[in-house]
Structure 1
Amino acid sequence: MGLVSYVKESYSELTNHVSWPSWSEAQKLTVTVAVFSIVFALIIWGIDSVFSKVITNYFSWIKNS
Protein backbone atom coordinates (compact mmCIF):
# COMPACT_ATOMS: atom_id res chain seq x y z
CA MET A 1 0.00 0.00 0.00
CA GLY A 2 2.97 2.31 0.45
CA LEU A 3 3.60 2.60 -3.29
CA VAL A 4 -0.05 3.35 -4.12
CA SER A 5 -0.17 6.01 -1.43
CA TYR A 6 3.07 7.54 -2.72
CA VAL A 7 1.73 7.75 -6.28
CA LYS A 8 -1.55 9.31 -5.13
CA GLU A 9 0.22 11.89 -2.97
CA SER A 10 2.68 12.68 -5.75
CA TYR A 11 -0.15 13.23 -8.23
CA SER A 12 -1.98 15.44 -5.75
CA GLU A 13 1.18 17.49 -5.18
CA LEU A 14 1.74 17.96 -8.91
CA THR A 15 -1.85 18.97 -9.66
CA ASN A 16 -2.56 21.16 -6.64
CA HIS A 17 0.68 22.64 -5.30
CA VAL A 18 3.09 23.04 -8.22
CA SER A 19 2.98 26.30 -10.16
CA TRP A 20 3.54 25.44 -13.80
CA PRO A 21 4.95 28.02 -16.24
CA SER A 22 2.85 29.30 -19.09
CA TRP A 23 3.35 27.75 -22.53
CA SER A 24 5.29 30.77 -23.84
CA GLU A 25 7.51 30.84 -20.74
CA ALA A 26 8.17 27.11 -21.07
CA GLN A 27 9.17 27.59 -24.72
CA LYS A 28 11.48 30.49 -23.83
CA LEU A 29 13.12 28.50 -21.03
CA THR A 30 13.54 25.48 -23.31
CA VAL A 31 15.31 27.59 -25.94
CA THR A 32 17.52 29.11 -23.24
CA VAL A 33 18.52 25.68 -21.93
CA ALA A 34 19.17 24.41 -25.48
CA VAL A 35 21.38 27.40 -26.35
CA PHE A 36 23.41 27.16 -23.15
CA SER A 37 23.76 23.39 -23.63
CA ILE A 38 25.13 23.89 -27.15
CA VAL A 39 27.50 26.65 -26.02
CA PHE A 40 28.74 24.55 -23.09
CA ALA A 41 29.22 21.53 -25.39
CA LEU A 42 31.25 23.64 -27.83
CA ILE A 43 33.43 24.96 -24.99
CA ILE A 44 34.06 21.43 -23.71
CA TRP A 45 34.83 20.26 -27.27
CA GLY A 46 37.31 23.10 -27.69
CA ILE A 47 39.07 22.38 -24.41
CA ASP A 48 39.17 18.67 -25.25
CA SER A 49 40.68 19.41 -28.67
CA VAL A 50 43.38 21.64 -27.17
CA PHE A 51 44.31 19.07 -24.51
CA SER A 52 44.32 16.30 -27.11
CA LYS A 53 46.78 18.24 -29.28
CA VAL A 54 48.94 19.11 -26.28
CA ILE A 55 49.12 15.49 -25.14
CA THR A 56 49.80 14.25 -28.68
CA ASN A 57 52.60 16.77 -29.11
CA TYR A 58 54.04 15.95 -25.70
CA PHE A 59 54.23 12.22 -26.40
CA SER A 60 55.61 12.90 -29.87
CA TRP A 61 58.31 15.08 -28.29
CA ILE A 62 59.09 12.35 -25.70
CA LYS A 63 59.30 9.69 -28.43
CA ASN A 64 61.70 11.76 -30.53
CA SER A 65 63.96 12.69 -27.61
Structure 2
Amino acid sequence: MKVTNYISEAFTELKVNVTWPEWAEVQRLTVIVAVFSILFALLTFGIDRGFEVLVARIYEFLNK
Protein backbone atom coordinates (compact mmCIF):
# COMPACT_ATOMS: atom_id res chain seq x y z
CA MET A 1 0.00 0.00 0.00
CA LYS A 2 2.85 2.40 0.81
CA VAL A 3 4.51 1.84 -2.56
CA THR A 4 1.38 2.57 -4.59
CA ASN A 5 0.70 5.66 -2.45
CA TYR A 6 4.29 6.86 -2.98
CA ILE A 7 4.06 6.38 -6.76
CA SER A 8 0.70 8.16 -6.90
CA GLU A 9 2.05 11.10 -4.91
CA ALA A 10 5.17 11.25 -7.09
CA PHE A 11 3.09 11.52 -10.27
CA THR A 12 0.90 14.17 -8.68
CA GLU A 13 4.04 16.10 -7.70
CA LEU A 14 5.33 15.91 -11.28
CA LYS A 15 2.02 17.11 -12.73
CA VAL A 16 1.27 19.91 -10.29
CA ASN A 17 4.45 21.30 -8.75
CA VAL A 18 7.17 20.80 -11.36
CA THR A 19 7.80 23.63 -13.81
CA TRP A 20 8.64 22.05 -17.14
CA PRO A 21 10.74 23.98 -19.67
CA GLU A 22 9.37 25.01 -23.05
CA TRP A 23 10.01 22.64 -25.96
CA ALA A 24 12.33 25.14 -27.67
CA GLU A 25 14.48 25.37 -24.54
CA VAL A 26 14.62 21.58 -24.28
CA GLN A 27 15.83 21.36 -27.88
CA ARG A 28 18.42 24.11 -27.37
CA LEU A 29 19.80 22.53 -24.22
CA THR A 30 19.85 19.08 -25.85
CA VAL A 31 21.97 20.44 -28.70
CA ILE A 32 24.33 22.12 -26.23
CA VAL A 33 24.74 18.89 -24.25
CA ALA A 34 25.29 16.87 -27.43
CA VAL A 35 27.94 19.29 -28.75
CA PHE A 36 29.84 19.38 -25.46
CA SER A 37 29.61 15.59 -25.16
CA ILE A 38 31.13 15.18 -28.62
CA LEU A 39 33.85 17.74 -27.88
CA PHE A 40 34.68 16.06 -24.57
CA ALA A 41 34.81 12.64 -26.27
CA LEU A 42 37.15 13.99 -28.96
CA LEU A 43 39.35 15.64 -26.35
CA THR A 44 39.52 12.43 -24.35
CA PHE A 45 40.32 10.45 -27.50
CA GLY A 46 43.07 12.91 -28.44
CA ILE A 47 44.69 12.78 -25.00
CA ASP A 48 44.45 8.97 -24.96
CA ARG A 49 45.98 8.73 -28.42
CA GLY A 50 48.75 11.15 -27.41
CA PHE A 51 49.66 9.05 -24.38
CA GLU A 52 49.57 5.92 -26.52
CA VAL A 53 52.10 7.43 -28.94
CA LEU A 54 54.23 8.78 -26.08
CA VAL A 55 54.39 5.41 -24.30
CA ALA A 56 55.17 3.62 -27.59
CA ARG A 57 58.07 6.02 -28.26
CA ILE A 58 59.41 5.58 -24.72
CA TYR A 59 59.35 1.77 -25.10
CA GLU A 60 60.94 2.07 -28.52
CA PHE A 61 63.68 4.31 -27.11
CA LEU A 62 64.35 1.95 -24.18
CA ASN A 63 64.54 -1.15 -26.40
CA LYS A 64 67.28 0.25 -28.65
Instruction: Give the TM-score, by structure 2 length.
Output: 0.89
Q: 1:22 aligned to 2:22?
A: yes
Taking only the aligned residue pairs, the percentage that are identical comes to 42
Please, what TM-score do these two structures have when normalized by structure 1?
A: 0.88
Question: Structure 1: which 4+ aligned runs deviate by more than 2 Å?
Answer: none
Q: 1:45 maps to what in 2? A: 45
The two structures, once aligned, show a CA RMSD in angstroms of 1.0
State the partner residue of 1:61: 61
Structure 1 residue ranges without an equivalent (≥5): none
The aligned length equals 64
